[in-house]
Structure 1
């Protein structure tokens, strides 16, 4: 059985609807929780699959959150060995940074359920399920430059680099294709201060989660399954 390790920064931003697809594909899933497990104990190259999840901090805030340096080091080793690696939101930003790109504040918040536009390459990637059903969950304020050698897979009007790939084994999503709306209330509570500051209406977010929930979970399953099938070991 292969292992899938997910670096988790906050408890409610987990693998969501990606988890069932991983388990069905024969992966044993384990979380590496920041603040509980020390990152130096993670074997970067030996780990079969690594997924770096989201969190409400900046990928460039090393001085405030020193563990980010350890994550960058782990990702640099993964990229150098071309080991299967996925990043979501903060995780995508950290992969971009580890690959030599710059991460910086985007100047606006992009939060809510809205479409993502796939590039031609994106339509032939694991994101193909979003071609005709483009709505997804967005929740970010930072953005990043496209890493050298990476292929852009998706964009929105507010964010050019919503998804990218570096060969078949490395992928990053600025949006949240893993969104599972069952525990969505935890997101609303956990990000209450951010939502209030951005003046984003919680009732509308809650209603949209109910509206798109089943569709989002189907697309998440298809996206993860598609990525796993395309991996090169």
Structure 2
């Protein structure tokens, strides 16, 4: 009698445009042995009532605001309570992080001087940020946003920035919000810059050549950290793990140099 093969564990991926891609994060999760259950609630894809059949969920970004009043945005923000209640790994990126902040009762708003972050920017990881995995948190990351969020009460700050202070946080054992875009690939940078070129003229935005230079200088470190973080994030839900805390200036055993 033949025994049916067990299917790969699934990670729920929530996207917000027809053309959106999970980018590097999707590739890394597939390399780690996970299949992607991609849904677009903006276009009427249902969200599961439970994540019992999923290993975790990643909510990506989009050009809309977490403050918009469309029904699907309100439903998605409310739905975030499902992974939080069930203790499932949750990762919100840009809009996804802002939705998490909104779900936790905190504001999302533009910069008071109208500044944006579009391109590569320095951030300041905290000791908690460096302790997430065996690669140090990157200190140059790709951004594409004009709104930011307050640090939710009870959350742990993982990295801060200049114009938008809260850049990464952890809420509870398995929920994370990143304002920046670790998933971005070079084709994605080119596509975003071509389709939304007007954002390159906003106050604080980097010119396009700086995006390309930044990718060449910083992407290798971001890629290595992303792989280490995602492995720890999605595989650590059922096993207690000791934080890898490095002293200031001390690199992890496999840390990549940032030139």
TM-score clears 0.5: yes
Q: Deviations over 1:111-167 (max 9, x none)?
A: 2112221111111114x6344x42110221111121121111110112221111112
Using the TM superposition, give the Cα deviation of residue 37 of structure 1 relative to its aligned residue in structure 2, in angstroms. 4.1
In 2, are the aligned partners of 1:5 and 1:31 still within 8 Å (CA)? yes
Determine if the alignment matches structure 1 residue 229 to structure 2 residue 235.
Answer: yes
Determine if the alignment matches structure 1 residue 114 to structure 2 residue 121.
Answer: yes
Residue number among 48, 51, 60 corresponding to 1:42 in the alignment: 48
Unaligned runs of 5+ in 2: 1-7, 240-259
Q: Counterpart of 1:165? A: 170
| Distance in 2 between residues matched to 1:208 and 1:123, nearest whole Å | 21
Higher share of residues assigned helix: 1
Change in Cα spacing, 1:146 to 1:197, as seen in structure 2 (3 Å) is closer
- Aligned residues, how many? 228
Determine if the alignment matches structure 1 residue 150 to structure 2 residue 155.
Answer: yes
Using the TM superposition, give the Cα deviation of residue 35 of structure 1 relative to its aligned residue in structure 2, in angstroms. 4.1
The two structures, once aligned, show a CA RMSD in angstroms of: 2.2
In 2, are the aligned partners of 1:84 and 1:169 still within 8 Å (CA)? yes
In 1, are the aligned partners of 2:189 and 2:211 still within 8 Å (CA)? no
Change in Cα spacing, 1:11 to 1:224, as seen in structure 2 (3 Å) is farther
Using the TM superposition, give the Cα deviation of residue 77 of structure 1 relative to its aligned residue in structure 2, in angstroms. 2.3
Using the TM superposition, give the Cα deviation of residue 106 of structure 1 relative to its aligned residue in structure 2, in angstroms. 2.4
Change in Cα spacing, 1:49 to 1:99, as seen in structure 2 (3 Å) is same
**SS of residue in 2 equivalent to 1:129:** coil
| Distance in 2 between residues matched to 1:93 and 1:82, nearest whole Å | 19
Q: Deviations over 1:177-216 (max 9, x none)?
A: 2222243211112322222344642232233223433333
Change in Cα spacing, 1:189 to 1:30, as seen in structure 2 (3 Å) is farther
In 1, are the aligned partners of 2:116 and 2:202 still within 8 Å (CA)? no
In 2, are the aligned partners of 1:21 and 1:221 still within 8 Å (CA)? yes
Unaligned runs of 5+ in 1: none
